[in-house]
Amino acid sequence: MKVLLSALALFALTASQAPAQAGPEQVEIDLSNFKFTPSTIMLQHGQPYVLHFVNTAKGGHDFSAKAFFAAAEVAPEDRALVAKGSVELSGGQSADVHLTAPAAGSYEAHCSHFMHASLGMTGMILVQ
């Protein structure tokens, strides 16, 4: 009887604890001199994410992915950060973009600053 009461008490304790809500997955994207790290970003269709952009360089860079941002569901409060499909960052600046990943596909990304893409500042967003 004592074992049964202990088991019931344990069950009641664990049942009363609400499971922790998992927030959106954060993906850090570093913009440095002429590269994105990671250069390939893997996302799952319909899943929420926070894209955390960090410009580790002294000069400005952007993360331009017009087709991706047009297809993704960007949080209303972050839409101004994604002006014309690009996230612009001054040197040392960071920004978070909350979004839900769009339909499966491959989406190109690049830095649109003069000659940066031709010097290797390109990437790919793969949504499964």
pLDDT tens profile 2-53? 544 444 444 444 444 545 567 899 999 999 999 999 999 999 999 999 999 9
- Residue 37: CB atoms within 10 A of its CB come to 12
Instruction: Please write the tens of the pLDDT for every residue from 66-124.
Output: 999 999 999 999 999 998 999 999 999 999 999 999 999 999 999 999 999 999 999 99
At residue 71, the pLDDT reads 98
Rounded distance between C-alpha atoms, residue 111 and residue 63, angstroms: 5
At residue 26, the pLDDT reads 98
**Among 123, 120, 94, 125, which residue's Cα sits nearest to residue 34?**
120
At residue 5, the pLDDT reads 40
- Residue 69: CB atoms within 10 A of its CB come to 25
Work out the widest C-alpha separation in the chain, in whole angstroms. Answer: 77
* CATH level 3 topology of 24-127: Immunoglobulin-like (2.60.40)
**Among 80, 71, 79, 82, which residue's Cα sits nearest to residue 106?**
71
Rounded distance between C-alpha atoms, residue 113 and residue 116, angstroms: 6
Domain boundaries, the chain: 24-127
Q: Alpha carbon of 2 to those of 5, 6, 7, 34, 124: distances in Å? A: 5, 6, 9, 68, 60
At residue 3, the pLDDT reads 45
